[in-house]
Structure formats: C-alpha cells, structure tokens
Structure 1
Amino acid sequence: MKNNKIGLIIVGLLFLMAACGDKTGNEKRSEEVINYRESPAFNADSAYAYIQRQVDFGPRVPNTEAHKATGDWIVQKLESFGLEVTEQTFQDKAYDGKVLQLRNIIGSYKPKATKRILLGAHWDTRRIADKDTQDLEEPIDGANDGASGVGLLLEVARILHTDSLQPDVGIDFIFFDGEDDGEPEHRDFRDTSQIWWCLGSQYWSETPHIQGYSAYYGILVDMVAGKNARFYKEGYSVQFAKNIVDKVWGYAHHLGYGDFFPMRNAEAITDDHLFVNQNANIPMINIIEYSPDYGFGLYHHTHQDNMEIIDKKTLSVVGNTVLFTLFQEQ
C-alpha cells in the first residue's frame, strides 16, 4: 500500500511536470503571438495641416480650379516623399449627364517589392449639400469627407520617407477621384440605372495603373477625423475581407483604441473599397465613421463638414492603427 502511494505520487508529479511543460510552451507561443514589431508614431499635427491645406484650396469639385490645384499639390507632395507617381486621367458622366474630368493619383513606395499593401482615400468633394437645410446647391468643404483620408495617407507617406523605421512591404497610396458626386438623396429624378458614386475606383479597379496589379490587401480611410468618431466593422469589409478587419481591429485594441474601434458590425456602405473587392479581387476594408445606430454623422453632406469638426485625437488613433498594421507585415 505504501509503495502504491509512492507510485501515485510519482505519477502525479510526472503529470504535473508535463502540465507545467505544456503551460510553458503555450506561454512561449503566446509571447511569440504578441511580439509586435515597433512602428513610428503618427503625427496628427502634420496630418491636420494637410487637411487644412486642402480645405484652403476650396471645395475640390471636379472641373474646378480648386480641384486641379489640389490634385497638382497631392502629386507634388507624393513626389517630395520619394514615391513613384502615376496619374490616371479619364472622363466620366455624373448622374445628371455632366461630363467630369477626373484623375486618380497613385504613389508607390518600394515599387519593386513583390508583397504590396494598398492604401486608399478619395480626394474630391461633393458639389451639393443635399442633406443641409440651407445653401443646398452649394459645394461643401469636405474637411472630413475626403480631406481627412488624404491628410492621413500623406502623413503616412511622409513618415515612410523620413523615419529610420521602414516596413518590409511595398505600399501603394491611391487617391480616388469622383467618389462623392453620386445622385442626391430623396430626389424624384434619381437615376438608378448605374452606380454614380465612386467613379474613380470603378475606373481603376477595371483598368489598374499597372496591368495585372495585385495587392495582399487594402485599407480605405474615409471620414477618419471627426470628433467623437467611432469606427465599426463595415458590412462589405466583413463580407470580403473579414480576416483583415479582425486583424486591424485587433491591432487597434492592442494599442488601447478599443473605444474608437468597437467590436460590432455595421451595415454595408457603397464606397471605393466595394469596387476594389468586386472588380480587382483585392480584399479591401473600409475604416469609416458610420454607426449602426444612427448612420453617418450629422455633418455628412452638409456645410458642417468643415475644419471645426476635425479632431487630432481621432486622426492620431486611426493614423497609428494604420501605421502599426503596415509594420506588422513581412
């Protein structure tokens, strides 16, 4: 009986040692999973200045001088950051038959790298304020709806050009034109014969700037600087690229931005990423301010979309999340 007890003790110790061994292995694996790579800090002041510069040009409505001047400025900034710049100029018709002179602008970082990440934003603004109660036919500043995404991406490009830390992947910054000239809401003459939104991404996704272009995945940023903004998991993003959504939202929570990136789904939104997914077969997600409870912010497609609603904290949160994501890729 005594020997049996000793045997049981020995067996128990062996099980305990085995369990400890497994636990140590699991801990090591866990440490490997959370061994994130360092990334540079996002400069919200710089991104804010880029937003202000765009607004200073005036509404970036296609066929206007402000639109042309802004496009030239984006090209100049990308070139100053050492990126290889490509422009796509094309014409397209708006919902009311107006012919729009458009151009997509692409800046490539490490253009010869095989593994590529696509970062996108739209740089045009809406020519009407159809959700407003006054001056409905006047164009909006588009400080958040357009300029914020451009400002964020320009700051990411600047950091890649100046910081000693460099990611291991190639990155293509694409600034889509003609995103925000879709048909007005609640109008009797609304023509649903085709999708009038996102003209630039529709064009690029069918005729990319490089024949056979592909990317590992893409991130679209749209309306990413509003005060008290929250970024839910947009429907098409979850449908086409759920693993990328989960990864990016996970990174945001790791960085302490859980309040800004709720783990909750929202409805699908027709935005530039939809056509990149459907036509170019590149899984692209959308970081966009849109609530499953109340929809877009009250500023959306109104004259309230000006610099007063731009918040550097929100810019910093989204900018750091995007940068951190890029630097985890190898």
Structure 2
Amino acid sequence: MRLPSFRLPLAALAGLLFLTGCPDKKATETADTAAPAAEAPLPKAPVFNADSAYAFTAKQVAFGPRVPNSKAHVATGNWLVAKFKGYGLKVMEQPFEAMTFDGTYIKARNIIVQYQPQAARRVAIFGHWDTRPFADNDKEKKNAPMDGASDGASAVAVALEMARVLSHQPDSLSPNVGVDFILFDAEDWGHDTATQADLKNQLEGSGTDSWCLGSQYWAKNLLPKNYKAEYGVLLDMVGAKGGKFTREETSRNSARFALDKIWNVANRLGYSNYFLYVDTGGITDDHVYTNQAGIPTVDIYHYNSSSDYFPAYHHATSDNMSIIDRNTLKAVGQTVLQTLYVD
C-alpha cells in the first residue's frame, strides 16, 4: 500500500480526492451518510474465529518478510497452497515474471482458490500476500524489510479463516454463492513518489503501474479463464487495533450495491464503529484492476482520518504482530462472511 502521485487543491475536489499510485491511497472525508433502516433478520451464518485468524497472521509473519525472490516468500506461498488444499478446496497457481520499478526481475505467483466451484453465482475475495521489500516510510529504518502483519498478512488470514469455516459447513448451511479467494503477489514493490523521490521509476511510461503487479497480470490473464463474479471484496490492512474502514470513492462508483450490502451487514452486526458511514476519496489499489476486469469490487482498508492518510505503521517496521488485534479481525471477517449469506 502506498502514496498518491499527485493531490489537487481541496476546493477543486469539492471534498473528494482521487489518488493515484498504489502507495498513497490518500483520501478526503465528506459528510456522513445515513445508515440503512432496520430490515428482516440476517440469515444464519457460521462464526468467524478471530483466534484462528490471529494465528494465521502470526504464521505468515514467522516465515519472515514475504518479498518476491526470497526463500521466505516461496515458503509462505507453498504453505498457503497447502493450507487451502487441506480444506478440500480447488487451488490454482498463476506464476508470472515481472520487472519492478527499480529494475529487479522477480518471479511471482497469484494463488486462486475456489469454494463450491460448481456454483454459477460467485463472489471474489481479493488480497495480496507479499510484503514491501523496504520500510521507506520508517523514520529510522527506511531500507529495512517489513513484517507486513496488517499490510498483507491480516487480509490473507481473514481469507484463510473464511475458507476454513466454509469448508466445514454441511450443504444445508452453505451460502448460495461460490467463493473465490484470489491472492495477488507483487502488489507492494512500487515506487512511492513521496518517500523515494530520489529513485527513478523505470516503469514510468511503460503502461504498467509499478504497484499492484499481480492484479494487473491477473486482470489481463483471467484465471479461471473468462472469470465472472457478482462482486468482489478487496481486503487490505484489516488487522490492526483501531481499524477504521470508510466508503472509498472507486468502491462507491464501481460497486455501490456491494458496498451498501457490506456496510449494512456490519452495522446490523454491531460493527459500525469499524465500518464508518463516511465517504472518502478514491485510491489506486488492486480493486482498480479487478474492476477493469469486470468484477465490481469494494476496497476495505485501514483509513486514518486524523492524518487523512494511512496509519503510522504503513510501510514501516512497526507493522508487526504487536499491532494486530483480534477485535478488528473479527469485525472484518464476520462482516464479510455474513455478507456471503445475504442475497
């Protein structure tokens, strides 16, 4: 996750800001919108286990920084594939090679997992499983590798726990949709114009964004072939204490029906202190490319209203297990899991 390449004057934005550059994801806050009125009782859904999600987060961090081309990265990917297969789910790997903004050639792979692959109606849960190779937003250790506990591992952990829970449901308690867990690689090795102004972005002008390399590749090479889903949910930085999630502009414009459904479910489950009825500006993240691929996608990421930016741990060595909170994991995981059961 990253910083914007430009920012227009607020007056010109009329309170909304569209940011570019996967690193920045800056946003502006607008007036709160009214919460939906009370509805019929929510359908019965399984319980999301926050302790399990916490353990999945810790396991990924224990491998070490999940930087492409590293042994920790390979080992983590192999573990993820084995875990999903262990739940009896269909797993596909999508290897690809890419050049990063600094000229490094990497070997990466997207991981695609299908629950109820025979179902015609589908929902996609997206996330990224790699970590940024340098903590360029860190004031003291700018070139140090990061654990990426919230930025990456927490989203994958939520996906893993959802997959585990769903795989244990009898047919009578399964949702009416198939679910695809699509984990992108090489999302976080991008050029941050704010912290890396001294470095040249070798991908500039190439037609390839230096961020979100895995989702860009997947969007151009859909797997499964001709993939379609009713909507998608991108999880990004969803595990830290005090997590706040706002109604991001691209999500509102491209997947408003799904965004309204998710926020309504969160409100009815008692998680409105996490899922805020606050509209914020658009950011460039993996959901931009999944939307381009025809999957209306909502981005759920930790928004810091006090700085109109990302939390202090963003792209810093402080993004470690000390900030991970079971309550945040529960709020996100239970909300998204319950949403699958709402038609």
The alignment's TM-score, normalised by the length of structure 2, stands at 0.84
Aligned Cα root-mean-square deviation (Å): 1.3
Cα shift readout 1:278-323 (whole Å, capped 9, x = no counterpart) = 2x11101011101354210000000000000000000000011001
Q: Give matches, 1:1-150, under 5 Å.
A: 33-150=39-156
Distance in 1 between the 2:193 and 2:54 partners? 30
Q: Name whichever of 295-304 and 35-44 sits farther off.
A: 35-44
Aligned to 1:216: 230
Aligned to 2:287: 273
2:180 is the alignment partner of 1:172: yes
Aligned to 2:190: 182
Distance in 1 between the 2:285 and 2:269 partners? 27
Distance in 2 between the 1:76 and 1:180 partners? 24
Larger Rg, first or second structure (1 or 2): 1
Amino acid corresponding to residue 180 of structure 2 in structure 1:
D
The alignment's TM-score, normalised by the length of structure 1, stands at 0.88
Aligned to 1:290: 303
| Structure 2 SS opposite 1:196 | coil
- Could you tell me the percent identity over the aligned residues? 46
Amino acid corresponding to residue 162 of structure 1 in structure 2:
H
Cα shift readout 1:241-261 (whole Å, capped 9, x = no counterpart) = 112111110110011111111
Aligned to 1:300: 314
Alignment counterpart, residue 321 of structure 1, candidates 335, 338, 343: 335
Amino acid corresponding to residue 211 of structure 2 in structure 1:
W
1:137 Cα deviation (Å)?
1.2
Runs of 4+ more than 2 Å apart: 188-194
Aligned to 1:252: 266
Alignment counterpart, residue 241 of structure 1, candidates 255, 269, 272: 255
| Structure 1 SS opposite 2:222 | coil
Aligned residues: 298
Unaligned runs of 5+ in 2: 1-36
Aligned to 1:309: 323
Higher RCO structure (Cα 8 Å, ≥6 apart): 2
1:270 Cα deviation (Å)?
1.2
